[in-house]
Amino acid sequence: MEFLPISWRLQGKQALLVGGGEVALRKGRLLHRSGAILKVVAPEVCDELRQIVAEGSGKLLERNFENSDIEQCALVICATDDAAENARIANLAGECNVPVNVVDNPSLGDFIFPAIVDRSPVLISISSSGASPVLARKLRSQLESTLPARWGRLADLMARFRQPLKDKLDNVGARRLFWEQALDSPIVEKVMAGKDSEAEAMLAQAIDAADATSLSRGEVYLVGAGPGDPDLLTFRALRLLQKADVVLYDRLVGQGIVDLARRDAEMVYVGKARDKHALPQDNINELLVHYAKQGKKVCRLKGGDPFIFGRGGEEIDLIVQEGIDFQVVPGITAASGCAAYGGIPLTHRDHAQSVRFVTGHRKDGTVTLDWEHLVSDTETVVFYMGLVGLRQICNQLIAHGRQGETPIALVSRGTTDLQEVITGTLESLPDKIEGREIHAPTLIIVGSVVSLHPKFGWFKKSNE
């Protein structure tokens, strides 16, 4: 992150704007709307900028910039058409410890102007860190079209009731949960429909009925994070992740997904690598109960789907015993996500009429499975956690009747930008990857559907 996004209160503060043309005018409009007092310095100043300065009781100096102009200014905007002069003023501002922006040259300044979606008092700023202002404006236009203008009125309504709620609930956590529930209630629709008086009455009634004990009751969210691509997270998963006070996550959850949690949430890494556990499963189960009994909303964020080789049932079992409220949010399991991104349909009328998910995880150094039921030519078999046991899996399938020429795919870090798909046959694939560095997590797909990968592979060129 090259720039820290902040909201800066400028009401009543003097802002120096050097330049008087169209570029300076655009910055002058924003500064005027923010309540800053403009000091404009330029030999020539356009009429609209003159008017803005007058309306804001600012100062207009129709001459070249002088070093003393920077005194008592909260910030400086360099918007002349002279690059060398802009650089000189920016350097002077730095020496005076005054934040400076150089239009069209962000590398010389301390801050940049984002694209803004204005639903005052709600403001959304969008920045490309100066890399592509056009992209930032494009994103702004998309947000403008989806955010109702009345969101500002909703924020004003909530502001008026902040103190009454604080008088009713002295616990800050309970107040946050109240507002979260209010924003999921019909109150919002009343405001959007222009029925402000009805919304106000409903909000007052809700505050009167608010109960800190029930609001502060702990709850556990068992959330499937999907196979890796943050875009595959469900809306419900995202909403609960951002609601959680505590997030327990493991190595199968990508950083892009972890970063979507609330900034003030407590993040607890419990993650497991093969044969190496940051925390034993029993300890994870106990942690969920521990945090929930403190009245916290706890998100157990799990790669894939929590109920498909995710031990979700074990974690929920203890939660149920302790009488703790919980929700389970399904996620796109690795088999579905990795197969789709690898261009391998798990079922296909001409290849496979069923699919079976099995775990290839070793137990006592062996892969113990019901092999004779995994050799149908019309069924796709997907092995989770099978990389170490790959040779044994292939040998056992062949020994129990599956043809050695059966196609097989090994998908590494599926659905991410680092995805790699290695294909071969039951006979050839173990030797093909011998001595090769394969990155977890991996998934193994066996069946004739794998033969469709060269034709259907769309996400990324595989390494074959």
Q: In whole angstroms, give the CA distance from residue 401 to residue 114.
A: 63
Q: In whole angstroms, give the CA distance from residue 187 to residue 23.
A: 42
- Axis crossing angle, helix 312-321 with helix 281-292, rounded to the nearest 10: 40
Catalytic annotation on 293?
A: no
Which of the residues 13, 168, 272, 460 is marked catalytic?
Answer: 272
Q: Three-state SS for 18?
A: strand
65: DSSP letter? -
Are the C-beta atoms of residues 32 and 13 closer than 8 Å to each other?
Answer: no
Q: In whole angstroms, give the CA distance from residue 275 to residue 454.
A: 34
Sign of CA dihedral 126, 127, 133, 135: negative
Catalytic annotation on 272?
A: yes
Which residue pairs, CB below 8 angstroms and at least 24 apart, start in 452-458? 452/343, 452/344, 452/345, 452/348, 452/351, 453/342, 453/343, 453/344, 453/409, 453/421, 453/423, 455/343, 456/343, 456/344, 456/345, 457/342, 457/343, 457/421, 458/341, 458/343
Which of the residues 190, 250, 296, 305 is marked catalytic?
Answer: 250
Q: Three-state SS for 240?
A: helix
Residue ranges of the alpha helices (H) in 210-333?
212-215, 235-243, 255-258, 281-292, 312-321
Q: Three-state SS for 442?
A: strand
Task: Please report where in the chains the tokens 């469900």 appear, as a residue.
Answer: 234
Q: Which two tokens stand for residue 289?
A: 């109960």
Q: Three-state SS for 318?
A: helix
3-state secondary structure 340-364: HHCCCCCCECCCECEEEEEECCCEC
Residues carrying an active site annotation: 250, 272
